[in-house]
Chains A and B, each alone.
Chain A
Amino acid sequence: MTELQRTRPFRAPRPARAVGVLLLLGVVLAGCSGQKSSFHFEWDLFINSILQPDDQIKAGLVLTVVVSIAAQLIGVVLGIFAALGKMSKVRPIRWFANVYVWIFRGTPLIVQLVFFYYGLGVAKIYLWPDITIGPLTIEGAIQAGIFALGLNEGAYMAEIVRAGILAIDPGQMEAARALGMTPGKAMRRIVLPQAARVIIPPLGNEFNNMLKTTSLLFVLGVVELYNVFNIKQGQSFRPFELFLACAVWFLLLTTIWGFIQSWIERRLARGTPGAAAGGPGVRARMLSFRRPPIDASVVSGGR
């Protein structure tokens, strides 16, 4: 628990209030902007981009959220496998998992993105054709983006999942095996469900990052939330208003996610008798620079 929380009990602000704060921030910035030059702030453009988003903005929003969720899901699955791989008794599996994590954490995401899309495409290894499912067509660039983001995320999730598994008392695995469970079943039924409680807070932070990181997909020509505004400012030459609005949208997404995350963590804490209630509140989470530490006490049974 941070100082902030202890000294000032936190009243959850309504999302509406958060929007108000953001708009105020815009006003202050806009006020500063006109002082020294002939620049004047186009209020309508800024306000309408937020309060009356056009179809492009809406589409960008949806794409950002969908890509984030898809990539995060891939990341979680890969992360679980990579974590188990890192802890495997079989040396080649361990080696493979370590190399995977090493490569994807050791190279820039933007390089991974362009490599998987343009690199593989030009080398004719995989051409990323559009996929049509019913009325929906998913562009190759979006697929490549989700794929690369997911692979990258899996490398980070591997460490988080591994830390979660290691936080569980080895006696749990032993008790499960003493009852005749195979190591795989003991992991699935006994260890991973307990590790999940440890993993979920840092997983939430990863998703917060993911929401913002999707903006890198603009290098593949994907028109997600950032790229929508990037294109708009290229046409209208109003980068100040438009990027400010873009920032407000991202801030809204991450703030809403912050509320959802706190809600999830409170529910998890409720399901764990004897556990300290909840993780950091939304304000502490959004304002703090550090990641909340993994809290093993949430998991260990009382004795």
Chain B
Amino acid sequence: MTQIEETNLLDAIGGVPLASTANVVEVTDLHKWFGRNEVLKGISMMVKQREVVVVCGPSGSGKTTFIRCVNHLEKIQQGRIVVNGHLIGYREENGKLVADKERNIARQRQEIGMVFQRFNLFPHKTALGNIIEAPIQVRGVPEDEAIEMGRKLLARVGLAHKEEDYPAQLSGGQQQRVAIARALAMRPAVMLFDEPTSALDPEMIGEVLEVMKELAREGMTMIVVSHEMGFAREVADRIVMMDEGLIIEEGTPEHFFTNPQQERTKSFLSKIL
């Protein structure tokens, strides 16, 4: 399990970051309430190394909430989330789960890359500055090393010439590619994407999907919330359909596009395809 492949995008960060467990993400019986509103009603999901899982489902079904729970941007009320062998957000004391310290949660998040729908680049930092901020400040990578890695990453996402640009000077597609590079710079064991192309003008969707496809091909473990079914068909190992806080169907793209079982899946697919 330790061989490092010569890859294109990921060799900028020293190859595929290998996880320490076979299942990079293990979610069991996850329940999440907002007040009295139960938004996730028992979600379980295992994601193996190098697996790409695409999550789809109608608006409001809990996809964003689910993905935010995985790196503990949301507290959970029931269930367990284990990423790369670490229980996320909580620690076990005498068989009971207690909220973990911010410092530990922050450490756990270093292994989880997250790409947001609205990019959330830091507007006061350049493209390069955005990428090297966390490696330097969080991982303690020496500045010159971080800059070298940051430049490589920018080059691999096709933005070598933009390193001095501020986010406001970049197009949406360029910003999202910087955001992907920024997350990769932490060498995460898994990358989470929350509808990474849905805030983009149509002509920019392709350039972002290309980067994501490249990542998938190179063996990055990914959970992608997306309605881009072309992308799903091409790179997903598994498609998961969520509705009203539950996973109602999952399977290979093959299964999904030719032989969906659930009525709700069929009607959802007929709307977006």
Contacts and interface: CB of A to CB of B under 8 A. Distances in A.
B197 interface: no
Contact of B138 (A169, A171, A180): A180
B122 interface: yes
B13 interface: no
A25 B168 CA distance: 47
A172 to B, nearest CB: 6
B137 A181 contact: yes
A194 interface: yes
A181 B134 contact: yes
Contacts, number: 88
B125 to A, nearest CB: 9
B199 interface: yes
Contacts of B102: 182-183
B96 interface: no
Interface residues of B, number: 34
A177 B169 contact: no
Interface of A: 169, 171-172, 174-183, 185, 189-190, 193-194, 197, 272-275, 299-303
Nearest to B171: A302
Interface of B: 71, 73, 102-103, 106-107, 109-110, 112-114, 116, 118-124, 133-134, 137-139, 166-169, 172, 175, 182-183, 186, 199
Nearest to B112: A178
A273 B134 CA distance: 23
B134 A169 contact: no
A180 B168 contact: no
8 contacts: A172-B120, A175-B114, A177-B73, A178-B113, A179-B183, A182-B103, A302-B168, A303-B172
Given A174-B73, A179-B109, A180-B134, A300 B120 contact: no
A300 B137 contact: no
A197 B166 CA distance: 16
